[in-house]
Structures are given as structure tokens and as C-alpha cells.
Structure 1
Amino acid sequence: MSFLAMMGPSPDWNVGLSAEDLCTKECGWVQKVIQDLIPWDAGTDSGVTYESPNKPTVPQDKIRPLTSLDHPQSPFYDPEGGPIIPVARVVMERIARKGEQCNIVPDNIDDIVADLVTEEKEEDDTPETCIYSNWSPWSACSSATCDKGKRMRQRMLKAQLDLSVACPDTQDFEPCMGPGCSEDEASTCMMSEWITWSPCSASCGMGMRSRERYVKQFPDDGSMCKVPTEETEKCIVNEECEPSSCIVTEWTEWEECSATCGMGMKKRHRMIKMTPADGSMCKAETTEVEKCMMPECHTIPCMLSPWSDWSDCSVTCGKGSRTRQRMLKSPAELGDCNEELKQVEKCMLPECPISCELTEWSHWSECNKSCGKGHMIRTRMITMEPQFGGTLCPETVQRKKCRLRKCQKSSGSERKRLKEAREKRRSERAKEEIDGEQLPVCKMKPWTSWTECSKFCSGGIQERFMTVKKRFKSSQITSCKDKKEIRACNVHPC
């Protein structure tokens, strides 16, 4: 069954059903179908509200279900993007008509088949672009006598893939005669299996129940089927309504199917009106469950918003990542959407500055003098050189003064010897000045090798020296001095 209803005053919004299947798997009729309807857009009008001016959509859009995120001004818009609220509900319920056998024969069948002859049907030349259901069984003959009559069968056009190619009719007719008029008198009816027994009509004691079947194929000669399509039998509930019997109400109507499409379950209930008079437990069932078949589940294409712009890189320097996202616009229950909604990719910015890193300071060294004024040092090592504009390394050697006990004064003879040595050096410099030769101030010896480290661990020192090899006459005698350098060594902890 299919139908369509316009949602006025919109020219192209509508609700309806398309090829709703009313058959059960057992080839019976569905007892009841309840279907909530959501609005669809036929794609012919470009308005987003009921009051939008009518303006054709060019090019015409595809027919699609409306969603809660289509447009902020839409009457169906939901800022939270939840499933769209159904706007209608259709309820179909089977009403049994007993004692009748109906044939699907139109009133003007004689006019339609007036030119039909009894020649064999040609092979099916249905175009591949036309998708049909299977042919229904042949109907009974329109004639109940041996006069010429007609019978028909029909099929449903499910899809037309190419509108430019015409699809053949969905009905087929052929001549026939009444019952007993064909050459083959052995006409038979093809019947379905019996459908499940109905509940017992009585809630206590004796009652009746029934079951039905239907004609799957009428006889080839067009005769009517005389095989019974319904049978009844007696049924007993609780055998006898005695003091041990349980009095219950009638069953309620079946609840809605648990599934909106495909196979589901439905329930119905009844209540205990009176427990057994003898005080025993009531064994009557109060809930009944059975399977229910709803229309086949159909999926719709996944509706997604465009990708957002890429986000900023997750870091300000070096290697990071960035993301972009999109939203699911169609309600999840209308289709199975497995498209990814988030993408992540790597991004690379200029290398991060690396600042200088150093070890902790070592312990202070011992004083370099055994008496009088001296100095001691401490050191630290560079563990990471600065890179890419990082902070430069600070000092790695620190020196501070140390003062020990006073040195003993030298004797008079020692002072005299030192004085004579100083006088001798002065006379030699004076002699060099008298010679008048303008020579370099002094000539230095090469640096000596570094001495062994003063400690094996926890920070020691090494020294090296450069001494004066030869002094020349000059007015800047004081600038020609021996030199000494100090560096840290063995800074690792003990």
C-alpha cells in the first residue's frame, strides 16, 4: 500500500508511505500496522518555511527526508540536532470478512480484454530498467458458465531506473471458461498452511477457537475453490470453573510492535479477577507474547555537513597535530552511517628553541694556598648546548677568595737576598734600555700541558702555565708576566 498527503500550504512538503508490505512471512495479512510519519521534501520548491514564496528549485533536488538541522528558520529545526519529531501517524488494522471469496477483477475487464486471443504469451520482454514484484496468482474466471470469460493477474512496479524507457503494464489478462468447462476436469486449489489458532473465546471452562487459511492459486480452469478456508473447534480453559479455578479478564488489545520496521515482538495482557476459592495459586498466564512483522527496514543515504576548516596546530613549535570535523545531519535511526566525522593530520612548525642545560655546581675546591691569601673554585658541566635560539650558557667556573693563617716572615738574611735579586733585575733592565734597541717587551714559552685533575670525582681543577722566556728592554716591564689558566675536571659525583 502506498499513499501521499500534502502538508499545506507548502507546495512540496509531504508525508506518506511507499510500498508498505501488509503480508506476513506465513503469507497471511498483517493484523495491525502503526507507522509514525516524518516530513519529506519533494525538492521542487526552494522555500524553508511555510510562508516562503513559491520559487522552483533549479536544478530540482532529490526527494529526501527533512531533518532537524536543515535550516534555522525551518519549523522542524532543533538546535540540539536530535531526531525529527513525527508529524503524523497512520494506523491500519485488518477487519475480517468471513463467508466471502473476492476476485480481483475490474468492472470493465471485458472492454480491456476484448481483443485478447488465446495465443500463447510471448517471452517476457520487460526492460531491465523496470523492477517488478512477482506476478500474483491468477484470479477466478469472470464467467461462472461455459461462456467465454477472462481472468487476470497483477504485479507491482517497484522501481523505474530510467524514466525515458516505458515500463509495461502491471496487469495481465487471459481468456477462461467457467468451472468444469475446461478439457482438464481435474481442477485443484492450492491452499496456504493453516494460520495459528485464535485464543479460546472463554476465559474459564468450555469455549471455541478458530483458524484460517487462504487460496494461494485458483484452478487453471478458472473455477471457484470449494475448499474451506476456516475451521473451528472447542477449547477448554481451566477445564471446569471449580473452586480451584482462576477467574481472569479478557485479553487486552495487542500492544504496538517493539520494532518500527522488520521483525519485532508484541504483547497483550489480562488480569486475575478472582483467585481460586480453595486458596491455591492461580496458574493462568497474564501476559502473552508473539512475533510481529513490520515493513521492511529501509535506509537512506548518509547526510553530512561540509568539513570544517582545519584547526590551529596543537603546538606553537615543533611537531603537532590539527583536526577538522563535520556533523551528521540525518537522524541516526533513519540509516546506518559509518562515515568518519573527525579527521586528524600531523603539522610541523619551526623547531622549538632549546636552552642551555647544566649540571649542579660541584663542591668548592680546597684553597690553592697553604697560608695567606688564596682562592678556591667550583665548576659545573654543560649537558645540552643551546639550539634554535635558546638561552645561552652561563658561567661554568666560579672563584672565591680564601684566607688561611698568616705565612711566617722570612729571616733578615732571606730579605737581604731577595732585595739583591730585585736590584740585579733592575740593573739588567736598565742596561737593555741603554743599548737603545726597540725590541718586543718579552718572549713567552709555549703553554705547558694541563696538570692532572686535583680530584678523581665531585669536581677538581687542572692548571697550565705560560712563562716568560726572555724579557726585552721596554718601559712596560710590568706587562711581561707569567700566565696561568684553570679549568674544571671530574665533575661527576663520587
Structure 2
Amino acid sequence: MVSIVLFLSFLTFSGAQRCSIRPYEAKGERKAGSNGYVIEISSTKSRGNTSNGFIPGENYQISLRGWRTEYTVQTFRGFILAAQFEDNSPAGSFQVVGHKDARVSPICPAGGVSHKSMSSKTSVHITWKAPEVAKGCVMFRASVIEKKNLWFSEEEELTKRFCPEEGKRKVQPLDDPSATCCACDVANYELEFVGIWSRHTHPKDYPTLEHLTHFTDMVGASHSSNYTLWKIGEASTDGMKEIAEWGNTYKAEVEIKAKASEVRSLMKIKGLWYPEVQGTTKSQFVVNKYHHFVSLATMFGPSPDWCVGVSSVNLCLPDCSWVEERVFLLQPFDAGTDSGPTFMSPNSPSEPRQPVHWITTKLDPLSPFYDPTTDEIPPMARLTLRRKQTTETTCKTDDEYRAEANNITSTSEDDEYKDRRECMMTQWESWSLCSATCGKGIRIRNRVYVFPVKAQVFHCHRQTTEKQFCNAKVNECADSEAFNSKCSVGSWSAWGECSVTCGHGSRSRKRSFLNPSTKEEDCNVELERYDICVGENGEDCSATPDPLCRTTAWSDWSPCSASCDDGVRVRTRLFFYVEHEHRCTNVNLQEKENCVMQSCRRFIEINSDEICQEEKAVGQCGGNFPRYWYSNETQRCERFIYTGCKGNRNQFETEEGCKQACYAGYEKDKALIPNHQLFEEFGDKEINDGGAPVSCKISEWTPWGSCSVTCGRGKKIRSRQIVKLPRNGGTKCPEHLIQELRCQLRPCPISACQTGPWSRWSACSVTCGQGNQLRRRRVMRGRNGDWEENECKEAESESRECFGRYSC
């Protein structure tokens, strides 16, 4: 019994360590005391400070603020706030979706939040949901950055102990396979799996072929104590081996159905494949007095046989009720069927199979999880088991529960629809060929609804695409860093210093072979990479740099903001002396550039059935972007506000685009996506459908627009649009569709305001037709009596009309 309890403890919070709350931007040693900064806790249901403890599952407002007087308010720049039990495991959850000042802390993602920016703040207020099961007191610890070299942490009022209210502790299920259940009611649960694994959370030796990253289709079950999907210390079954190496669930399903009387619900859950690895997938299941355990497994990859999941989690409470919610931060385990040490290792079967074991930071120096400085691996995913409803019923004998389970087909997400005529599907197509010619790749198969219109009307949710990992005919890729035991390489080092202090120079970073005996000439692998950089004193070497405006080096480029077609990627840098940023308005702290991903048109046409069944996801950032999504409940395209990140594919920039993708039988003769994407998709290729030649058709020039400025020198533009694309050898379209003309207006008056330079004009708000462009600048208004603020009339932003590149 003792070993089982320890096993589940490791499953949830492997090697729990105290969260680091030293902010990245903090320089030097922390100062003694708290300088008047305090943590305050109040209930969201009543006013005033809460001092008598928390009630499990309730929401509380956690505030961080400085001292106040009648005339002054203490301000700060940055912060980190962490909530952990006294055993250092995460406690409860902060709700930061859409928060203007707070985000999940990059250095304490399991139980901490931190600042979004280094702008001046007087206080921060964040909602915190207390844990459903109170296993002890919660320690709130905070760090505050007042200035670059002035920060405070944990002392005095920056640490607060918050204990459960007397008599309000909730009991916790006993995760012991021999535990019995006394709950006669039947309970329905929702399972939610959220991917966390990314190159940012686990940067060491992250897979070089990012398009292969995934969590495979998942298999889970609610079951009795007489069944287990996988177990630490025991060898994997054939079904578990197929899941761990290839994501193939068939054998595991057969094994589960062979013990049908011991399994109440069989779950086959859609996996998360690139670019949706950090997405969400859900399922439902049923538990009863006899089948009160839950297990789940999914492979993450590319990897030899590495998985995450839960094993024999108990949902029945000692007081004969069902737990409301259980949350697990999933740690990686090795299924023991393949001995490869890295993500990109070639196939290397373990004979005989090794026992299933946890992956640790000390196991193998070649492992991407190896780190001798810590025992903690950041979580790969978050699993939430949430009770939806209970149904009152009388208790039955174990034999009755077994007989009932043997006669019930309850496979979530798919088989529950299989007997409905409206949800009938064709047979699966044959598997595609493996996408790789050496090493490992992906294979795909599809099926469609027999009656697609009825399937949409009756809300059928069945999987239309299935993916699996596959082994190519050639096991190892010659001279490649991927799937090659000899040429495997480690992670890139950080970028070195720029070669110049001003103007444009170069910087480099390196990596090395994991196998020390490998020579550079043996492999065709890049070991050193160069990049163009700008010296820390700026592009203009003739200008005298302001030492107080010194910045850090540029960060790496962010991922593309779009998963298909056009997007933007960003890189940033910070001031060393943030308290002097008001004098550095000419220094750019952010750069953007366009990026182009896979074609949205083809992607949506292939996956529209799945996309239109996804629930609305507003995201987790602070933006405000109007979008449309298809609601299966109302069967309409509805408007919502997207916050800018962590959404899903069921979002469209226009209502028309939503209708074209999701309305059955909707007019499809128009492009699914704006026509410039068709143009980019075919590029310079000759489009030939066998018909007569069609030449490119161009609209007339628009009238000249207004001058880009209100005084001084500026520009005005006119444009024309592509009305029809050429085909069958017709005349090609011209490259230049925009003309500019200089304009001179009255001289600009001398202003009492200090203004920074204008930013570049934003992209046109539309891809076709008439839209708007914006540009911004910083306006500094006097705060020290040099001039009155109300005399400053300068605009911080300007807009102008623009026309999309193409005709609608």
C-alpha cells in the first residue's frame, strides 16, 4: 500500500521543489525587508480582508500593493507571486486569462504568476481558486521589483500563510488499487487534457523536426481494481507498447474489451498534433461503485517510447460521494520497450522489455531531461477530471456491475454515435505511406460522414482523421542529426555578443554532438550558426550613445503568430535602466517581421469537419480581436473576442469565411480564404485547367489618397487590385500594385510637447476592398511643471484609408 501511495504522489508532483521567485529582470542581491509591500487576501463574495482561512474550491482575490499616504502611492515595476502547499506542491490555480498585468510565470508555471510588462504599477489584483482538496496550509510568497537594482522578496508581508477554514477541509480519495468504494450513485465526468510541452517549457534538445511533435491519440478507461492499463514497475503489454512507440491504439482497445466486465467506459481521445500540441482535447466517462478507478496513456513525440498519463486514479471518496475535481500535472514515463536516449533516436527495441519507469533528471546524460542541478522536470501536460453530474441509484452487487459493464458499449467521443443513422461514416481509408523516407514520420487515414448535412444538424462528433507515428523503410538517416545514433546533436547555445558595438555586425551560437567520439566530417550537420545583429549602441555609429538607454541583446524570434498562411513573429529586448526609459523614446524595444506558414485554404478544406466542431476558445492573452466561430448548438456563425493566443482553429476573421467553412451546402464558388492567398499558394507556377488562355485582369487606379501627415512632408498613395488571376498561359499580373507620391503641407507648428518618431504604418486592416491603416508615436507630457499637460494637443495615433491588394 505504501508504494502505491508514493507512486501517485510522484505522478502528480514529481520531485516537488520550492518555486524560484527571483524575477529574471532583478539585478544584484535582494534588499532586506519588504519596503512596505504587502500581500492581501480577500473573498470574492465579501468585502474586506479574509483572515479566517479558505474554503476549498472557492475563489479569492490576491492583491499585491505598496504603501500609500494621503498624497503618494508607492509604485513597482515587476513581480512574481507563487502559491504552494507547505510540501512545495502547487496549490490552487491563478486565473490570468485576459488579465492586463499578469501571466503564468515562466520560471514557476505550476503555481506562480508574474508581470506581463515592466510598466509602473501601484497594485495588482488576481483571482485565485483554492484547491478542491485542502491537504494543508497554502504559502503565498512574492517578489517585487521597484527598480532594476532594487527588489524585495519573501520577507515580512511578502509571505502569507493561508490555511483551510476550520471544519471546511475536504477529504481526498485514496489512490490504492485495493481501495473499495461505498458510493451507490453513478457519476459522469469530463476529462480535459491540455498540452504544455513546448520548446519554451523544455528547451533542452527539443526535437529538431518540430512538425513531428505531438501527443498521440489517447486511450483511457474507467475500471475496477482488477484491470490496469499501465503500472510503474511492471512490463508494458503489447497494447501499451504500440501506444508508446507509434500511438497505435488498436491493440490496447482489444485488450480492454477482452476485460469488458472490469471496464465501464472505454475512451479513445483525439490527440494533439503540431501545430496544436499546446491545445486541449476532451472526453467523458462514467464511474460507479465497482468501476471507480481511471487510467489514461498517450505517447509524446517524436520519442522512443515516452508517455504521460495516469494509472488507477480513484474518484470515490471515503464519505461515499464522488470527488468534484482532480488535477494532475503529468510527468513523463518510459514504457521500457525501446532503449533510445533522445527524442530523435532511431528505433532500438529493448529485448527483453524493461519495467515501466519514471523519467528523471539523473537517469541518462544523453536524455533531454537530464539536469544534475535539479530533481524537477517541468510538467508535460495538465489533466483535469471534473465531475459533471451524479445519478441517484441503489447499490448493486459486484456481479451485477460486471454484467452491466460487459453489455455496455461506452466508448467516448466516437462509438456513442455509431448506432445513429445520421452519424454513419464510411470505412477508414487505407493508411497513407509514411511521410519520411528514413527514420520516423507520420501516416494518416481519413473517413467521412455518409450524410454530412444530417451529421452537422444532429451534432455528430466522430473522428474523421487519424494519425500515427511510423517507422520508415530505412531506420537511420545517413549524415543527418535526426534519427541517427552517430550524428545526434545537443541544443544550441545562447547567442554570443554582437561583433560590433554600433552598426551591423554578426553573432554566433554553437552546439555539439551528443556522442563525443563523432567527428565533424563524419556527419552533414550544422554545428555553428551565424546571425546579423545591431551593436548595443544602435545602428548609427556617428551618434553618441546615451549610457542610460543601454539595452539587452535581442531575444530569439517568437513562433509565428499564425499556424497557416501569413503571420507575424516578434523579438524583444529590455532596458538595463527602466527608470530612465522616458529619455529613450528613440530606442526600439520590439521588432516584427512577416512569416508564411502552410496554406490555410487547403488546410481548412481538408479539416473543416473537425474545425467546426471545436468549442469557442477566447485564448489566454490580453488582446481584443473580433473573430467569428461556428456554434454547433445554434448552428450559426457567431461573433466573439479573441485575446490573441492559445485559441483553436474554430475562429475566422469574417462571418463569410466562417459560413464557407462550416455551413453545409454553402456557396463554394468563392475562395474560402481571401484571393491573395490563392495567388501566394500557386506563386510562379503555371495554372492550367485545359481551357482557353485567361489573362490577368487589373482594376483601374484608385484616386490619390490624402497626405500621410497633417503638416510638413509626407506621402500619398494610390493602388489597384487583381480582379482575375491568369491561367492557361494568359498574361501574368504585374508586381507593382501601389504607387506613392510625395506631398508637402504647411509647416508644422512648434509644440510644447515632446514627441517620439512615428512607427511604420500598420498593414491594411483588410485584404480586399477599403480599410484603414494605423501608426503610433509616443507623446511625452510634462509632469514636473515645465508646461501644463492640457497644452499638449499632439495625437498619439493616426489613421488613413487604404485599399487591399486584391478585389473582394
Asked whether the two chains share a fold, i.e. TM above 0.5, the reply is no
TM-score (norm 1): 0.21
Higher Cα Rg, which structure? 1
Looking at secondary structure, tell me which structure has more helix per residue: 2
TM-score (norm 2): 0.13
